[in-house]
Amino acid sequence: MDPVWTVGLMTGTVLDGNIDVALLRTDGERVAEFGPYTLAPYDRETRDLLTACLARARAWAFDGPEPAIFAEAEERITRAQSEAVRALVEEAGLSMDRIAAVGFHGQTVLHRAPEAGRRGETRQLGDGRLMAGILGTRVVYDFRSGDMEAGGQGAPLSAVYHGALLDQLDTDGRTAVLNLGGVANVTARDAGGELVAFDTGPANAPINDFVSHLGLGEMDRDGALAAAGRVDEARLMAQLEHPYLGRPYPKSLDRFDFGYDWALGLSPEDGAATLTAFTASAVGRALDLLPVRPPRLIVCGGGRHNPTLLRMLERYAEVRAEKAEAVGWQGDAIEAQCFAFLALRRLRGLPATFPGTTGVPEPMPAGRVAAEPDAEEWSAWIASRREV
């Protein structure tokens, strides 16, 4: 099929206060054009509401009725993200009737990976049907639950998009993609060319939480605290004994599975340095699990803005780390672009999760469609939005 315009939305577990929204022209298999993107900030009231939702979600832990606060937050973020989509589309000189699909990830408030004898569970806040009604276009949402119901990890979902980007670079399998959000995940190809992806360990979340706990802001901006500190190698080595790091993939994490408590008692600078070194070291352990250890990482996600973390990746993970921008990608847009890509794959019935990425038994599409079209309606829908 000819490429069409799609929109993707992402808000990460690190709660940086922004809605990532991006336009992408694609056929669901290749990227034809990166469109405009923006980071649309939530207002303070919404940010505080989401922070409260995370706390309530941890107390709830999938036991009993959902916290009532979820409903209020779900409507609020759906309306805010719908507004962000419309604003970006208009700024791009397009109209909503040119948009084939919107991929709406929603806000993850809790993710529990499967264990032996127990299926995993996940909860993203976001009302796809409400968004479809507001925008008047197809909305694909709830990307993770179907995979988990089929026995998968429900994460990471970015692998098929990262794979498409890598294929267009022609890297001969010697390059992997590392996303540094609240949690870190890696995407690579095995010796047979099949996608492999999994969560490597923590990324920004414990560092941010540590800095916030000390009342020093919301993050270690530019890695300045860590750069001024010394790594406590004894604490680092003890934390590297965590069983998750040696567990075979596929595997996934919640943003609270790794905390910062083990760094308390250190100075702010040394604590930040030690937590940052742990993120980098966990990536190194993850690369050791791959069938072929890639010598090069293309780094996306907010963590790529932390030069101290990038330096520590080279030291502790023993890998060359390059920002996404170095290869012509839009680093701040990649996760939102991913859900634009996944949305069109869902409408085309193309798989998004695979045995090597989430552990699902068979490749399967991801997401639910608000106002699902039948085959005839879908063909007409795409034809009406095809790039002229």
Q: Which pTM does this prediction carry?
A: 0.92
- Residue closest to 193 by CA, chosen among 172, 169, 168, 162: 172
| DSSP per-residue codes, 148-208 | HHTT------THHHHHHHHHHHT-TT-EEEEEESSEEEEEEE-TTS-EEEEEEEE-SHHHH
In terms of pLDDT, which residue wins out, 332 or 231?
231
Amino acid 386: pLDDT = 64
Amino acid at 347: L
- Residue closest to 161 by CA, chosen among 340, 286, 305, 328: 340
CB-based contacts of 5: which residues, under 8 Å, 6+ apart?
23, 24, 25, 35, 94, 98, 99, 100, 385, 387
Q: Which fold has domain 159-327?
A: Nucleotidyltransferase; domain 5 (3.30.420)
Rounded-to-integer distance, Cα 39 and Cα 42, Å:
10
Domains 4-154+335-385 and 159-327 share a fold: yes
Rounded-to-integer distance, Cα 190 and Cα 367, Å:
26
What is the number of alpha carbons within 13 Å of residue 208 lying toward its C-beta? Answer: 19
Rounded-to-integer distance, Cα 182 and Cα 324, Å:
18
Largest CA distance in the chain: 64
CB-based contacts of 18: which residues, under 8 Å, 6+ apart?
11, 39, 40, 41, 42
Arithmetic mean of pLDDT, 157-161? 97
User: pLDDT tens digit string along 176-221?
Assistant: 999 999 999 999 998 888 999 999 999 999 999 999 999 999 999 9
User: pLDDT tens digit string along 24-51?
Assistant: 999 999 999 999 999 999 999 999 999 9
Q: Tell me the pLDDT band of 17, cut-offs 50, 70 and 90.
A: confident
Q: Which residue has the tokens 């089929």?
A: 150
Crossing angle between the packed helical segments 44-60 and 69-91, to the nearest 10 degrees: 140
Least confident of 162-171, 267-276, 292-301, 358-367: 162-171
Rounded-to-integer distance, Cα 203 and Cα 206, Å:
7
Q: Which CATH class is domain 4-154+335-385?
A: alpha beta
In terms of Cβ atoms closer than 10 Å to its own Cβ (0-12, 13-18, 19+), residue 242 is: middle
Query: Residue ranges per domain, the chain?
Result: 4-154+335-385, 159-327
Q: How far is CA 328 from CA 65, 78, 108, in A?
A: 46, 31, 29
- Residue closest to 274 by CA, chosen among 179, 184, 180, 210: 210
Rounded-to-integer distance, Cα 247 and Cα 372, Å:
39
Other Cβ atoms closer than 10 A to 87: 13
The answer to whether residue 59 scores a pLDDT higher than 80 is yes
- Residue closest to 23 by CA, chosen among 336, 388, 317, 302: 336
User: pLDDT tens digit string along 267-287?
Assistant: 999 999 999 999 999 999 999
Amino acid 287: pLDDT = 98
Amino acid 388: pLDDT = 43
Amino acid 375: pLDDT = 60
